[in-house]
Homo-oligomer: A and B are copies of this chain.
């Protein structure tokens, strides 16, 4: 049983957080493009950043700031321009953005974290950003989570957020998260961003460790098209406003908080995978029996990322040969005579030997997973209006209904279970199928 419950409110569900999202004119479409999340008091802050050698200015800025001082009051995010590969001027723009929002909030200069997403090589439209800040700050609200959700997306089909509540010392602790990213083939805007807020009181080293481990089990285990962005980042704030006892050492409370954090991150990560361009379903790969968790992760990610596997799933083809092939090339040793593969409840291979199974029924299982997930996605999309290339989310559903549909869309993954031996290593990874629309959309895109 999960030790938490789903609540509404996204990043503003935890106490002491306000958020806003406005259209500041950074996106050509006129959609919301500037988001702000503010904590009422100084919050412990942890960040995880892209491992790419080519990094946006905002990534360097945040990493340096958090190394000097692992706390913050605000996160400013612009969508439209990635501010990556923009040289010295890009660095200056990043600093100017962070300073501008800090000034507008009457905070010291190093109080705000920043994130950018959009076209690589384009500087932030600083005039529009500066001009938008007063309105952004005046729009801050303790119910502004959804506005922030909408202002950070680029080519996403749907916004992605979640909020959970648990008990620490008999008092409620809340955590909220929002993310953007749909990977796949998109005109330069495949960046993954995630922001997590929490009102628990937790020590900085513990929080940083929790965030690192939760990322390893969630965002690092999704794969859409394998392209890591210059701007990928997760920023997580914990402000203590729940007034619960401070968690300063490992133990049951720390475990509960980390489990909730992991759940938030996994939900956001799955949402990104499910929103892959043209995807019709979510794929969950469960690997057991590996030499280590790390080895299991590698096998799970390789299967989830295999074009051959992804296209077989789209073809509703229970093609165990492609799964075995992907497992084999994952770069981690195992004995093929111990390889077992299942798809949903269908056993396809046991100890290296193909098993007879009902192909039609297994194919129907794949079809059913996709239909259920697509139905839930449709319910969200029907309540949105969108432009052709860039999302203009004006979701009219009540938050609770939207959240239910978002959870439902992730509740029918195609489950691929792979056992590679007697080892203790286990891991999960998520991806999506590779459909006709994936390249169709892209093939029709030219500059």
Give the interface of A toward B (CB within 8 A).
Answer: 50-55, 84-87, 119-121, 184-185, 188, 190, 225-230, 305-308, 311, 314-317, 319-322, 324-336, 339, 349, 352-354, 359, 363, 434-436, 438-440, 442-447
Contacts and interface: CB of A to CB of B under 8 A. Distances in A.
13 contacts: A52-B329, A54-B336, A184-B307, A226-B305, A230-B324, A316-B446, A319-B447, A363-B447, A434-B442, A435-B439, A436-B443, A436-B444, A439-B440
A329 B439 contact: no
Contacts of A326: 227
Nearest to A440: B436
Nearest to A122: B321
Contact of A308 (B227, B334, B339, B363): B227
A434 B445 contact: no
Nearest to A53: B328
Given A319-B188, A336-B54, A353 B443 contact: no
Contact of A439 (B333, B439, B445): B439
B443 A308 contact: no
A55 B336 contact: yes
Contact of A325 (B227, B331, B336, B352): B227
A11 B370 CA distance: 48
Given A119-B321, A188-B321, A325-B230, A315 B439 contact: no
A185 B307 contact: yes
Contacts of A52: 325, 328-329
Given A85-B349, A319-B447, A436-B439, A53 B327 contact: yes
B439 A322 contact: no
Given A52-B328, A329-B51, A354 B85 contact: yes
Q: Give the number of copies in the complex.
A: 2
A444 B87 CA distance: 45
A308 B440 contact: no
Nearest to A334: B53
B446 A315 contact: yes
Nearest to A447: B317
Q: Which of A85, A325, A339 has the most CB of B within 10 A?
A: A325
Given A227-B329, A325-B230, A439-B435, A317 B446 contact: yes
A80 to B, nearest CB: 14
A311 B226 CA distance: 14
A227 B306 contact: yes
A433 to B, nearest CB: 10
Nearest to A434: B439
Q: Which of A227, A314, A336 has the most CB of B within 10 A?
A: A227
Given A188-B319, A315-B447, A442-B311, A325 B87 contact: no
A229 B324 CA distance: 10
Contacts of A317: 446-447
Contact of A333 (B53, B86, B190, B325): B53
A2 to B, nearest CB: 34
A50 B317 CA distance: 25
A365 to B, nearest CB: 14
Contacts of A438: 439
A310 B216 CA distance: 28
A439 B54 CA distance: 30
Nearest to A191: B325
Given A121-B320, A225-B308, A349-B85, A328 B443 contact: no
Contacts of A190: 308
Given A311-B439, A311-B442, 9 more contacts: A85-B321, A120-B321, A188-B319, A225-B308, A311-B443, A315-B443, A434-B439, A434-B442, A439-B440
Contact of A447 (B119, B230, B359): B359
